[in-house]
Structure 1
Amino acid sequence: MQNLEAFKTLISTPKRVVITMHHKPDADALGSSLGLAEYLKMKGHEVTVVSPTDYANFLSWMHGNDEVLVYNEGNEDKTHAIIDEADMIFCLDFSNLSRINELGEKVREATCTKVLIDHHLEPEDFADFQLWTTEAAATAELVYDLICMLGDKEMINRDIAEALYAGIMTDTGNFKHSNTTKHVFVVCGELAAIGADISKVAKLVYDTNSLDKVKFLGFALNERLKVVQEYHTAYFAISAEDLKQFNSKTGDTEGLVNYALSIEGIKFAALLIDRTEAVKMSFRSVGDFSVNEFARKNFEGGGHKNAAGGKSDLTLEETVDKFEKLLDEYKNQLSNPIKTYA
């Protein structure tokens, strides 16, 4: 972080702090936010964590979850009042204020100090302090690094450690993705030494599924998976009716796109979901194909080189048609088989 000493001085006295994260937060967004919140509370700050939307129930075990203010569940006025009185706003796990929906403009207009902690590409320039690098596997990793930079590693307790571990574990794909570095293992080793129950965290995140979710997974794999062999692409198109049929809750489609990417020979995978207000899209890739560029250019999105999101205001059918036509435009990048490991 640039101006670390100035930042350290700033937080050395109690402040009214707001921490917010991207909409439909995942384990990294929520874990890094709740981990940072607990640390700042221990430092004497008054902290409010705000999520723009709801999130998956399998994340509700995190310490501090009961105090999270969900903005779009009737808490708009309360959140605005808290932001108006805030001394600092921390923006975690997103690089553009559009990622927090209607809350973005309120944060942009706020006159207090803003801090960005993130690892996504092309950050918007709105923060007074930034701890940003695409070399980090997760925002939770950066929160751990920040606490250490501030000389407060000994303040990381079990609750903080488990929240941060969950964020790193999930954003590395359970340590399968290419962003899994030596530093990731060092940090996770330290979190385990502090007391994080890594087996418990993994079970709570990956193995706490409703019967409806498991049945939906089987349906999606059998009925909604399409493979375009010539372009080494696989995708799911999920309708609003499909979601209703299986009583889908927030988080039930998380990770589905990875099943498409797991097929042998696939280098590009997509998940298209009709969320009524828009078609929400998740993209994954292996190798040199940048889904970040694909999402930014075609679907108002972005993220990482090999993991990104986007949206479409067209119908699901029209979005599928647009997506399939785009594959032909990218045929030079997609037609060649992926490189196999020796």
Structure 2
Amino acid sequence: MNIYQQIEAEIQAASHIVITAHKSADGDSIGSSLGLLYFIEKLGKSAVICHPDKAPDFLYWMDTSSILLMEETPEKVTNAFEEADLIFCLDYNATNRVGPEMQVLLEQATCKKIMIDHHLNPEEFPFLTVSETTVCSTSQLIVELIEQSGHGDLLDEKIGTPLYLGILTDTGSFRFNSVQPRTHEILAKILAAGVEHHLIHEKLNDNNTESRLRLQGYAMSEKLEILYDYNVAIISLSKEELAKYNYKKGDTDSLANLILSIKGMKAAIVFTERDGIMKISFRSKGTENPVNVLATEHFNGGGHANASGGMSELTVTKTLNKLKDLIPKYFPKN
């Protein structure tokens, strides 16, 4: 029995299944959660999704009504954890990734926990762990669960649509080096199941608000700094600047990839002042320019070699200066 068959057996044996994902939801955490939920329902079982907080508005073209949010309905989430006899931990590798409130519930839960994830250095708290750090997304691993547990015939448009979304967003529209031949094999299976991929691209990309575009235009024209000696680009945005353009969660998500597209850039760093801290997004190109080490060693973060996150409790100016001081230590001079 392979591990995916073991997971399917645990699903069949469970009565109260909870699906969790990390704080600050993205396309992969939303996609893998919904894809797993619909698969479980196809098996004739039921489950509830519990996330720490809302996803960005541009992901809400999907039906997210089945997702309970800790920040909005803590009583319902608490009850779900107390009743759970099986908890899925999707797209995160450590209990603190679900935020402090849900972390308490997760760690206090005595039921079996199953991790399905693709990030480095997973903690050892789960009963079963699928940790495939070379795979592009957790959504791809959910397809593997469906296929390798012997239920590939259950993959349909409803299950496949959120999983395609997860793979699409976590690969930067299939541009990152984490995309493997197997990724395209799985995409072919999803399309064969009836998923209309062109509609997903349209709903994901053709939904800008005026304020979002104006914020991005301001960031590019007024806040972009390029360290040409190292081919590293940085954008910093204060809480006042975000408020001026009616910032909503997700409005700056594409900025790092946008400035990384500048000819010759090795890395891009974007940080924004939110909730009293600087939230930092690191992106880079190539195996010779990893950013996860910088994020881990200096900004209480981490992630993939070319896509990581971090945070700073310093001011905007001090965080910017700290980054500029560190860049020469992590990126070779041209």
TM above 0.5, one fold?
A: yes
| CA displacement at 1:8 relative to structure 2 | 3.1
2:14 and 2:85 in contact (8 A); partners too: no
The answer as to 2:196 corresponding to 1:166 is no
Q: Deviations over 1:259-289 (max 9, x none)?
A: 1211111111101100032110000111212
**Which position in structure 2 is the counterpart of 1:100?**
98
TM-score (norm 2): 0.96
Aligned partner of residue 274 in structure 1, secondary structure: strand
| CA displacement at 1:83 relative to structure 2 | 0.3
1:90 and 1:114 in contact (8 A); partners too: yes
Aligned residues: 332
**Which position in structure 1 is the counterpart of 2:17?**
17
Structure 2 unmatched runs, 5+: none
CA distance in 2, matches of 1:276, 1:14: 38
| CA displacement at 1:98 relative to structure 2 | 1.4
Question: 1:212-223 residue pairs with structure 2 within 5 A?
Answer: 212-223=211-222
Structure 1 unmatched runs, 5+: 337-342
2:147 counterpart letter in structure 1: C
| CA displacement at 1:144 relative to structure 2 | 0.3
CA distance in 1, matches of 2:5, 2:53: 34
1:206 counterpart letter in structure 2: N
CA distance in 1, matches of 2:227, 2:7: 50
CA distance in 1, matches of 2:306, 2:7: 32
| RMSD between aligned residues | 1.4
| CA displacement at 1:316 relative to structure 2 | 1.4
**Which position in structure 1 is the counterpart of 2:76?**
78
CA distance in 1, matches of 2:111, 2:174: 37
2:239 counterpart letter in structure 1: A
- From the superposition, tell whether residues 55 and 207 of structure 1 become closer, same or farther in structure 2 (CA, over 3 Å): same
Question: 1:62-211 residue pairs with structure 2 within 5 A?
Answer: 62-63=62-63, 65-73=64-72, 75-102=73-100, 103-211=102-210
| Structure 1: 4+ residue segments shifted above 4 A | 1-5
The answer as to 2:333 corresponding to 1:316 is no
| CA displacement at 1:253 relative to structure 2 | 1.0
CA distance in 2, matches of 1:61, 1:130: 31
CA distance in 2, matches of 1:78, 1:17: 14
2:4 and 2:145 in contact (8 A); partners too: no
**Greater CA deviation, 161-170 or 42-51?**
42-51
Q: Deviations over 1:237-268 (max 9, x none)?
A: 01111111111111111111111211111111
2:14 and 2:86 in contact (8 A); partners too: no
CA distance in 1, matches of 2:28, 2:130: 15
| CA displacement at 1:45 relative to structure 2 | 2.4
1:98 counterpart letter in structure 2: N
CA distance in 1, matches of 2:283, 2:2: 32
| CA displacement at 1:9 relative to structure 2 | 2.4
